[in-house]
Amino acid sequence: MGMHANKANSILAKEALRWAVLRLQQEKIESASLDGRILLEYVLGVSREQLLFALDQPMSAEQYARLGILVEKRSQRQPVAQLIGRREFWGMNFLVNEYTLDPRPDSEALIEYVLERVNSRADVFKILDLGTGTGCLLLSILSELPSAKGVGVDYCENALQVAKENSMALGLAGRTQFMCGDWCEKVDGEFDIILSNPPYIPTQTIPTLDPEVSQFEPKLALDGGEDGFSCYRKIMKKLPKIMAKNGFVAFELGIGQQKELTALAEENGLESVGVRNDLSGIARCIIFQHKN
């Protein structure tokens, strides 16, 4: 580390923070100051509010060494959420690990759009989340719809374990079920609201993504096949059978995929209700229903 270990007993948290941020800036990490702060909060076990008071306190040698290890991993581009094992989404804390896609703020556009489509939040909805990962989409929606029940499906047992733990930690386990499966293959029954953020990145594009994504995110959650649409195709085939008559499906989509996805939906008897942009103005969520 940049400071002498024998001084570590008297190093103030604010000095360590300054070092951490500089180290990350050296590695051209754009979010260096935010990342440094989050890692320091994590090592000290304090909240954002408490950090202000902790900055003038000395750190123990052990805390200082742990911060050093985390900063080095972050400078190798490992995502902060993986390093601290959680990520905030929709105002709630979600556990994440190397088997789950890191919940992104962009995906909150999907939650907002779905909630706008709901006539009454008190209704008893059946919700299905395909490729649930951390469970962040399903659990965020359930937190807003108190009478709804949901099923989360994922191909990866390790991801499902994380989703189950999140449902328990958020007090939503009583209204959720999780099952291992390949998209809708094993799904029966009819659902009012279907959610999915499937892998939509063309295989050959993955190596060009930021190292945080290409090296550390689970390939299974990224790879959309040769053209980026292979998972959508699998889902669309069975979708009309498991979607209630007045139900709808909300997909997250990749940049420039709206036209082809709409055409794919129409081939399967669905029509687009509309699109919602993310914070950068990119079409990020699209909703389909049965053709009338």
Can you give the CATH number for the domain in which 68 is found?
A: 1.10.8
Instruction: Give the model confidence (pLDDT) of 206-264 as tens digits.
Output: 898 898 888 888 887 888 888 889 999 999 999 999 999 999 999 999 888 999 999 99
In a domain, 103, yes or no: yes
Judgement on whether residues 136 and 98 belong to the same structural domain of the protein: yes
Judgement on whether residues 29 and 157 belong to the same structural domain of the protein: no
Judgement on whether residues 53 and 94 belong to the same structural domain of the protein: no
Judgement on whether residues 128 and 182 belong to the same structural domain of the protein: yes
Q: Comparing 89-93, 176-180, 207-211, 232-236, which segment has the lowest mean pLDDT?
A: 207-211
Instruction: Give the model confidence (pLDDT) of 163-172 as tens digits.
Output: 999 999 999 9
In a domain, 37, yes or no: yes
**pLDDT, the chain, mean:** 92
Residue ranges making up the domain that contains 162: 86-290
Rounded CA separation 189/156 (Å): 22
Residue pair 149/176 in contact (Cβ under 8 Å)? The answer is yes
Rounded CA separation 143/20 (Å): 36
Q: What is the pLDDT of residue 292?
A: 79
Residues paired with residue 162 on neighbouring β-strands, in sequence order = none
Q: Could you give the number of structural domains in the chain?
A: 2
Domain boundary among 76, 96, 125: 76
The domain spanning residue 208 has which CATH number?
3.40.50.150
Confidence tier at 8 by pLDDT (50, 70, 90): very low
Judgement on whether residues 162 and 215 belong to the same structural domain of the protein: yes
DSSP state of 10: G
The more confident residue out of 189 and 4 is 189
Residue pair 132/167 in contact (Cβ under 8 Å)? The answer is no
**pLDDT for 36 beyond 70:** yes
